[in-house]
């Protein structure tokens, strides 16, 4: 998978204190690291830097990822938080 295809993908943390938590990839730093956000604790202003090998990458991509990631930070945080919350509700239900 190409690194630019990772942006906007839903990932699940496999290691660290955030193990099991879901995030969206905000950007790719290099071939080892990405910045991830959840719209709540990890916002666009404070993304988490995480090794790709510590993430389980899913096939799911947030809708309109390219358009979304160039919009206002607060809008991105709200939409990411809502998207992940809805995804969890569907998964549980």
Tens digit of pLDDT per residue, the chain (93 long)? 677 788 999 999 999 999 999 999 998 999 999 999 999 999 989 999 999 999 999 999 887 776 666 778 888 888 899 999 987 776 665
How many CB atoms are located within 10 Å of the residue 34 CB? 25
Q: Where are the domains of the chain?
A: 3-92
Residue 21 and residue 27 in contact, taking contact as beta carbons nearer than 8 Å: no
Q: Would you give the DSSP letter of residue 79?
A: H
CATH number for the domain formed by residue range(s) 3-92 = 2.30.30.30
């Amino acid at each position: 998978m190409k690194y630019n295809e990772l942006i906007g993908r839903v990932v699940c943390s496999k290691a660290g204190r955030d193990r099991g938590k879901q995030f969206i990839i905000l950007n790719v730093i290099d071939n080892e690291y990405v910045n991830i956000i959840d719209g709540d604790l990890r916002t666009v202003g404070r993304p988490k830097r995480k090794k790709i090998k510590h993430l389980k990458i899913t096939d799911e991509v947030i809708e309109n990822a390219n358009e979304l990631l160039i919009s206002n930070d607060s809008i991105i945080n709200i939409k990411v938080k809502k998207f992940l919350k809805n995804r969890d509700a569907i998964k549980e239900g």
